[in-house]
A = this chain, B = another copy of it.
């Protein structure tokens, strides 16, 4: 693929920092500028090699870049993009890596000036950890990136962004922003809400009894609360709808339990096991 000359990553945390590392280590970017709001994070990103230079000033950071990546929490994208728009060069590609897309794309795309391009992206990679300290060049390997173009997305910008994600190891799937949000509600936002709710129902007396299964099931609930508040709220209607469908499924299981319907309970569990074992290649 055509490599980037100058890439600015705004938000050099786990995802932004890992992208900087991946671009540098594969020779996909000549120069990476890291932008953040804490000097300590910027110093960490630079010492890890995730950025060649850093700045606290997003406006200065985006000057002369041909790719600008928004990698802060979703809730800050709009304010940042508004601030940097006057400093964007013609032909610049702006992309975000936010976990929700419909509200984000609708808010950001109109801000990008004619001659520049916006491409919404969601690399499905990461963990409950935050910060450049956990960044790694292989974060994106063998994972899926959803790219969400609209009628206004210039085809050449879309192709360049797709090629970039493929070059760092991802399988690219193209979906509309709305379809992305519906599907991610099922596989990410709903499970997050459910994991958080599972922690809530543990009584004090049960706390010493949590085991490795509980730790797995609730792991994502250790993710940052403000970050996930933004994700859930920018996709609130789809998440609420998925919760409603989920509650219907739980109600059916509860009824089978109340009736001691062994065949129904076993069929429910067997179907889950069969599907999960198929979806997760290495179930260990």
Which residues of A approach B to under 8 Å, CB–CB?
Answer: 124-129, 143-144, 146, 171, 173, 179, 183-184, 186-188, 190-203, 205-226, 228-229, 232-233, 236-237, 239-240, 242-247, 249-251, 253-254, 257-258, 260, 262, 265-266, 268-273, 275-277, 279-280, 283-284
> Which residues from B are CB-within-8-Å of A269?
196, 221, 225, 228-229, 232
The answer on a CB contact under 8 Å between B212 and A127 is yes
Interchain CB contact (< 8 A) of A220 among B179, B217, B224: B217
Instruction: Give the complex CA separation of A64 and B253 in angstroms.
Output: 44
The answer on a CB contact under 8 Å between A253 and B214 is no
> Which residues from B are CB-within-8-Å of A128?
213, 283
The answer on a CB contact under 8 Å between A208 and B276 is no
A249 to chain B, nearest CB (A): 5
> Which residues from B are CB-within-8-Å of A212?
125-127, 143
Q: Say whether, besides A183-B203, A233-B260, A273-B223, A197 and B243 are in contact (CB < 8 Å).
A: no
The answer on a CB contact under 8 Å between A186 and B203 is yes
